[in-house]
Amino acid sequence: MRPYILDELNWKVVRDTRYDVAVLPWGATEAHNYHLPYTTDNIQAEAVAALAAERAWQRGAKIVVLPVVPFGVNTGQLDIPLCVNMNPSTQALVLRDVAMSLAEQGIGKLVIFNGHGANDFRQMIRELQPQVSLFLCVVNWYKVLDLKGFFSDQGDHAGEMETSVMQHIAPELVLPLSEAGPGAARKFKIPAFREGWAWAPRKWTQVTDDTGSGNPAASTSEKGKRYIEAVTAKVADFFVELAKADASKLYEA
């Protein structure tokens, strides 16, 4: 039993522990090329949160990782079988209920630990924060470190990073790379969208033929291990700092 993983805890343990920070992994259920499972985002968010919480717990920070929310925003993938969409408005209601439950129980801080690029919790937090007593924030774990220091391909979906991470944390769920598609992704024709100062959601089946965006060919478990160890070390530092912090005094004098 890991004392920082709620999935494994019982009332006897929880009753006698005062938790400083709750961490809510939030992923998605969607196709990840031919070689990765639909629940890749959930598996990764849970694993990274758990590893970081373990490091933080060993340093005295009372972190508890909640069960993962397995559905994310997938409005651009509704024509792909079994890609399950949860609209942002639904996410906001789920987040509100979780936050209000924790606030009533005296949990002081909640970290939404996001593992899916289409999930965007910032405006939800802006709206919800005045309504609850606990401190709210979000971590996009895949943005903690620059991928250029770890991977040759910078694709953002089922590419070298995600594949390497899965090869490290859940190798039994990864098919041989020979079975993966190339992850070739088509770009917008309009320059403003390509340059990033205009934005529109991508229609996924028009962007990619194999549901990937990024070439997984150079992926290795060793790359995934090196990346995850660096990410979890940095996230653990954040968890420790947040656990110690006075949420009413977060700004420099």
The predicted-structure confidence for 46-82, as pLDDT tens digits, reads as follows 999 999 999 999 999 999 999 999 999 999 999 999 9
Contact predicate 68/55, CB 8 Å: no
DSSP one-letter string for 195-214: HTSS-----HHHHBSSS-BS
Q: State both tokens at 18.
A: 């005062």
Please state which CATH class domain 6-244 belongs to. Answer: alpha beta
Strands 135-140 and 21-26, bridge-based pairing? unpaired
Q: State both tokens at 29.
A: 């259920």
Strands 109-114 and 21-26, bridge-based pairing? parallel
For 11-41, write each residue's pLDDT tens digit.
Answer: 999 999 999 999 999 999 999 999 999 999 9
Q: Shortest CA distance to 224 belongs to which of 157, 156, 171? A: 171
Query: Model-level pTM?
Result: 0.96
Spatial separation of the C-alpha atoms in residues 159 and 135, rounded to whole Å: 34
